[in-house]
Amino acid sequence: MNRKYTLGIIGVRGYVGRELLALLADNKDIEVDWVSSRQLNGEPLLKLLEQDENFGFSAVANEHYYKDILIENLSATDVVNKETDIVVLALPNGLAEPFVLELERANNCQLIIDLSADYRFDNQWIYSVPELTELNLLNIDRPVKISNPGCYATAMQLALAPLLIDVKEQANIQGQANCFGISGYSGAGTKPSANNDLTRLNNNILPYSLLEHLHEKEVSYQLGIPVSFSPHVASFFRGISMTVQLELKRSWCLQEIFELFDTFYKNCPLIIVSESIPNIQQVVNTDKCAIGGFKLSDDGRRLCLVSCLDNLLKGAASQAMQNICLALKIEF
């Protein structure tokens, strides 16, 4: 390739936008051309990246990447006029549509990737958990539009996917899968709320949206099975621990379960399958998802397992980078 792909981020103020910038600093095929934030218009990008101790981004080490970029407040028309190859929408839910409509109309970018939930139920978009999706873009109109999965939804789907179909093409799961998730408070975003209030979270764990959470609907829709999900937020900053319990249609042994998962993810370098129970410390600040801790009831029909990942990375920014690289056929 003779040139780098150009990329712009709308909504760079959020945690995921910042994480994505740290990943892009090390990518030899993509160059960040512009970033947009209504609240931070006119500020140097490096100022944003330097101010938060929760991020691994080293402004000094990576200064040459972003030293000349000022944050802009770009309208949908402004974004189209940039003629950027890749546009990343890192906006809160419900705000992506004006940008998408203008980019579709102009048809002058190659890839749009949306990090919100706005298009996760839209069949005109490609919904992609990279380990579970084969991206065949030969007959896809430009721009390619990819909807990035939710963080909780990623943890659940990676835990459930190997069990959906057995070697005889029969479903393994019977009835509803029950998922209990705990996330760090970064999952509540940068806007102050009850779920990222450190006073309320101190020595505490907060249940919320205990029925019909959006990620419950997302997983049920994408996997085609009923899922029950109970989310909680705790006082640590980043990471997700997801405990999944389900009924199986036949009796299994633990070795069968482990081999099923190990074989399913054997060509997936970001997935760690282990017999021991994974924990958040294993995956925080990495792009890995750890799955394991498999336990069976005495009759071999009830299974429990745990899936852990970093909600800002494998649950968001790293997964977005995977999808960008798969779509453009470049190295992750």
Going along the chain, which residue ranges are E strands?
5-10, 30-36, 86-89, 111-114, 126-127, 144-147, 173-183, 205-207, 227-234, 240-248, 271-274, 289-296, 302-309
Give SS3 for 88: strand
My answer on whether omega of the bond before 143 falls inside 30° of 0, hence cis, is yes
**CB environment 62-71: b (16+ within 10 A), e (fewer):** beebbeebeb
CA distances, 192 to each of 91, 196, 197, 214 (Å): 16, 6, 7, 20
The answer to whether the beta carbons of residues 260 and 163 sit under 8 Å apart is: yes
Query: Of the listed 151, 179, 289, 308, which one is catalytic?
Result: 151
Residue 287 φ then ψ, to 5°: -100, 20
112 φ, ψ (degrees, to nearest 5): -115, 130
CA dihedral 130, 136, 141, 146 (to 10 degrees): -10
- Which tokens go with 283? 């995956």
172 is written with which tokens? Answer: 């393994």
- Taking alpha carbons only, the member of 99, 103, 85 closest to residue 27 is 85
- Counting Cβ atoms within 10 Å, is residue 162 exposed (0-12), middle (13-18) or buried (19+)? buried
Q: What are phi and psi of 179, to 5 degrees?
A: -125, 130
Of the candidates 87, 86, 12, 4, the residue with the CA atom closest to the CA atom of residue 55: 12
Active-site annotation holds for 151: yes
Which residues are marked as active site?
Answer: 151
